[in-house]
Amino acid sequence: MLARHQDPVVAIATAPGRGAVGIVRVSGRGLGGFVEQLLGRKPNPREAHYLPFADKDGQAIDHGLALFFPGPHSYTGEDVLELQAHGGPVVLQLLVARCLELARTALPRLRLAEPGEFTERAFLNNKIDLAQAEAIADLIDASTEAAARSAGRSLSGAFSKEIHTLRDALIHLRMLVEATLDFPEEEIDFLKKADAAGQLERLQLQLARVMQRAQQGALLREGIKVVIAGQPNAGKSSLLNALAGAELAIVTPIAGTTRDKVQQTIQIEGVPLHVIDTAGLRESDDEVEKIGIARAWEEIKAADAVLFLHDLTRWHEPDYAAADARIASALADQLHEQVPVIDVWNKTDAATPEAAAAYATLQPGRVAQVQLSARTGDGLAALRRQLLEMAGWQSAPEGVYIARARHVAALSEVDSHLMESAAQIHSDSPALDLLAEELRLAQNALNSITGEFTSDDLLGVIFSSFCIGK
């Protein structure tokens, strides 16, 4: 534990702005004397006391509730004092200032808390593990109901329990391999007798299930970035408005109306989709439009999925078809092969029956194709299903726990080490020292998720993303 973690800390624990109630939180070891001087009485543990919060001259700053939680039975595992006052920013700042002022004599080294420091102390004092700590931030930041419920499951320990189960099975397998290494003179084949290969296979199957759920949880947390691209007047802005259910982008029959990106986050079955409307892709001499087109390509290259919008009313025009072909070629060059492109044929309400019937043959070999009318909404449901499928969404929200990209990466690392372990264990002459090392590395990757083995640099990155009072 770093030296700064020994300092008592204070901060406003509620969001900036005005509200009915605001909270000032103090955490540290041995707060008893400080609390008694600040409140003018010795509070009973875990009992709300209504009293005046006085300044140095005995004048009331405010009247409110004080709650004292002696450690280790507190959020941080240390002594914690919470002052609940009226939620004006000036009132709360005066209370923080009073705490710092009194601390000069009653609680030396009291300082303002850094972002996430209260939760960091809860982690360091073994009140929660690292995955649960991250779930607190994810619960606060949740943009959908499904994400909030999944973060709640992670906070309750559902994800951590899965990781611990995997770790325990991995430790048992390591024990067998280490025993074989430690006693090579014994004729007993520990690994075969204990069915080590079977244990490893079951561990891999269990890991696959956890990885699938973690990937779904990461989708709930992060969502996907969907960029709408295509020629001018294909209906990109109309499609954004239809998906968002609001008039976000200006829609006119004038080509080049959209000059810059317009972004909106929507949700489909609880999965957040960050949908971006971009400028129409074409050759232009207009300097402003050229900047918008350049920005459109920047967004396209950073997309998780692209909706390539086509105009069914112009599909038979040679110039239009040639321009679409150029865009398709540019998309193939600019995008990673794993980024899906969905061909969306728009304006079915205005297209001829022949055009609407022939749309599926217009881009041969492309699996993801949808026809719709952004104006009437016909076909939007099919597009939403296609987006979820492209995102990899499979699970119902009720069974998913929130996860982060780093969790998915760690689980993928575990999977890689277990695959190497399987190759060794099934070989005719397994190198047991290499097998033992692969299993050790797999366990380290698992431990990094819950924080049993985590660098201080990673902790700094994680907790710095929290708000100050958390």
Instruction: Classify residue 165: in a domain, yes or no.
Output: yes
Q: What pLDDT, on the 0 to 100 scale, is given for residue 252?
A: 39
Instruction: Tell me what the mean pLDDT of segment 3-23 comes to.
Output: 89
Confidence grade of residue 255 (pLDDT, cut at 50, 70, 90): very low
Higher-scoring residue by pLDDT: 243, 61: 61
To the question of whether residue 256 is assigned a binding role by annotation, the answer is yes
To the question of whether residue 374 is assigned a binding role by annotation, the answer is yes
To the question of whether residue 233 is assigned a binding role by annotation, the answer is yes
Q: Spell out the SS3 assignment of 355-401.
A: HHHHHHHCCCCCCCEEECCCCCCCCHHHHHHHHHHHHCCCCCHHHCC
To the question of whether residue 299 is assigned a binding role by annotation, the answer is no
The total number of structural domains in the chain stands at 3
Confidence grade of residue 348 (pLDDT, cut at 50, 70, 90): confident
Instruction: Classify residue 170: in a domain, yes or no.
Output: yes
Instruction: Classify residue 113: in a domain, yes or no.
Output: yes
To the question of whether residue 449 is assigned a binding role by annotation, the answer is no
To the question of whether residue 253 is assigned a binding role by annotation, the answer is yes
What b-and-e string marks burial along 219-246, b requiring 16 or more CB atoms within 10 Å of the CB? bbbbbbbbbbbbbbbbbbbbbbbbbbee
- The mean of the pLDDT values for the chain is 84
Give percent above pLDDT 90 in the chain.
36
Same domain, 96 and 19: yes
Give the separation between CA 345 and CA 356, rounded to whole angstroms. 9
Q: Which of 361, 376, 397 is the last residue of a domain?
A: 397
To the question of whether residue 304 is assigned a binding role by annotation, the answer is no
* Among 147-151, 321-325, 441-445, the least confident range: 147-151
The CATH number given to whatever domain includes residue 268 is: 3.40.50.300
Q: What pLDDT, on the 0 to 100 scale, is given for residue 215?
A: 84
Strands (E), 278-385: 305-311, 341-346, 369-371
Instruction: Classify residue 136: in a domain, yes or no.
Output: no
To the question of whether residue 116 is assigned a binding role by annotation, the answer is no
Predicted structure pTM score? 0.73
Same domain, 272 and 248: yes
To the question of whether residue 225 is assigned a binding role by annotation, the answer is no
To the question of whether residue 150 is assigned a binding role by annotation, the answer is no
Same domain, 227 and 363: yes
To the question of whether residue 202 is assigned a binding role by annotation, the answer is no
Instruction: Classify residue 22: in a domain, yes or no.
Output: yes
Q: What pLDDT, on the 0 to 100 scale, is given for residue 40?
A: 93
Same domain, 177 and 245: no
Q: What pLDDT, on the 0 to 100 scale, is given for residue 33?
A: 94
Highest mean pLDDT pick, 158-167, 230-239, 379-388: 158-167
Same domain, 332 and 377: yes
Tens of pLDDT, residues 114-126: 998 999 999 999 9
Highest mean pLDDT pick, 80-84, 313-317, 432-436: 80-84
Tens of pLDDT, residues 27-86: 999 999 999 999 999 999 999 999 999 999 999 999 999 999 999 999 999 999 999 999
To the question of whether residue 257 is assigned a binding role by annotation, the answer is yes
Same domain, 368 and 269: yes
Give the separation between CA 348 and CA 366, rounded to whole angstroms. 19
Give the separation between CA 280 and CA 31, rounded to whole angstroms. 62
Same domain, 366 and 231: yes
Higher-scoring residue by pLDDT: 279, 164: 164
To the question of whether residue 235 is assigned a binding role by annotation, the answer is yes
Instruction: Check pLDDT > 80 for residue 209.
Output: yes
User: Quick one: how many helices (H) and strands (E) in the chain?
Assistant: 16, 12
Same domain, 249 and 380: yes
To the question of whether residue 278 is assigned a binding role by annotation, the answer is yes
Same domain, 163 and 208: yes
**How far are the Cα atoms of 77, 194, 294, 392, 404 from residue 449, in angstroms, in the given order?**
21, 28, 39, 22, 10
To the question of whether residue 352 is assigned a binding role by annotation, the answer is no
The CATH number given to whatever domain includes residue 424 is: 1.20.120.430
What b-and-e string marks burial along 432-462, b requiring 16 or more CB atoms within 10 Å of the CB? beebbbbbebbbebbbbbbbeebeeeebeeb
Instruction: Tell me what the mean pLDDT of segment 230-249 comes to.
Output: 77
Instruction: Classify residue 463: in a domain, yes or no.
Output: no
Same domain, 367 and 429: no
**How far are the Cα atoms of 213, 218, 286, 300, 401 from residue 210, in angstroms, in the given order?**
5, 12, 52, 31, 10
Q: Which domain holds residue 41?
A: 3-129
Q: Which of 397, 419, 441 is the last residue of a domain?
A: 397
To the question of whether residue 238 is assigned a binding role by annotation, the answer is yes
Same domain, 118 and 150: no
Instruction: Classify residue 468: in a domain, yes or no.
Output: no
Confidence grade of residue 254 (pLDDT, cut at 50, 70, 90): very low
To the question of whether residue 209 is assigned a binding role by annotation, the answer is no
The CATH number given to whatever domain includes residue 117 is: 3.30.1360.120
Same domain, 308 and 264: yes
To the question of whether residue 143 is assigned a binding role by annotation, the answer is no
Instruction: Classify residue 349: in a domain, yes or no.
Output: yes
Confidence grade of residue 13 (pLDDT, cut at 50, 70, 90): very high
